[in-house]
Structure 1
Amino acid sequence: MKIDKLIFKILQYLYEVSDLSMPSMEPISPKALKVPLEQWNNAVAMLYKESYIDGVIVKKSKTGIYILNEDDMRITLRGIDYYKNNTTFKKFLEAAKGISEILPK
């Protein structure tokens, strides 16, 4: 899975469960998303670095990036803004693609 799609899925889920006090992180686990742990760790680390999520601890070592406290992962206001803007943009692109398919060439 491409990293942008993975990031979008993680943010989408965190946004959807943002009103819950103890949401399960199982639906966005590497196993559930069918991605390698290393790719998932990199995506979560990027989201954390950009302040789109908080609650996790990102540790870097010589062997890679490790995520701790993933059960405490939450979307931030900045993450919500990013998610909403990209959702709107995605819908716009899909609509534009649909229009271009019906226009004569």
Structure 2
Amino acid sequence: MDNFKIIYKILSVLEKSMDLENVDIERISSNNLGISQQRWNKYMEMLWDAGYIKGVSIKKYTDGEMRVDIENIRITLKGLEYLSENSIMQRMYNVTKGITDLIP
């Protein structure tokens, strides 16, 4: 799966979970997303660093191991903006692709 598709999926799940008391973290687990735990850890770190998510605890150890706790994870306003901008871009891409498919 493409990196940005996975990021979009994680943020989408968090956005849809805003109406719920708790996030179903299994939906954004490495197994469910089809990626390694190491890659998943790095995605969480990038999303946290970028300000798209909060409620995440990241601990790095001297042996290189990283532990990520997402028990209180939630999307931020910046994360919502990312979703909004990327859904608009995706629609524009689909329209443009449809036009180029029509032109011989």
TM-score by length of 1: 0.90
| CA–CA distance in structure 2, aligned partners of residues 60 and 91 of structure 1 | 39
Mapping of residues 1-105 of structure 1, within 5 Å:
1-61=1-61, 62-68=63-69, 70-104=70-104
Amino acid at match of 2:64: T
| 1:13-45 Cα shifts (integer Å, max 9, x gaps) | 111111211121111111111110011111111
Whether contact under 8 Å (2:11, 2:79) holds in the other structure is: yes
TM-align CA RMSD: 1.3
| CA–CA distance in structure 2, aligned partners of residues 29 and 8 of structure 1 | 14
C-alpha displacement of 1:2: 2.6
Whether contact under 8 Å (2:23, 2:73) holds in the other structure is: no
Stretches (4+) displaced over 3 A: none
TM-score by length of 2: 0.90
C-alpha displacement of 1:64: 3.8
- Which segments of 5 or more consecutive residues in structure 1 lack a partner in the other structure? none
**Percent identity of the aligned residues?**
33
| CA–CA distance in structure 2, aligned partners of residues 65 and 31 of structure 1 | 17
| 1:62-85 Cα shifts (integer Å, max 9, x gaps) | 4243211x1211000111011111
Q: Give the length in aligned residue pairs.
A: 103
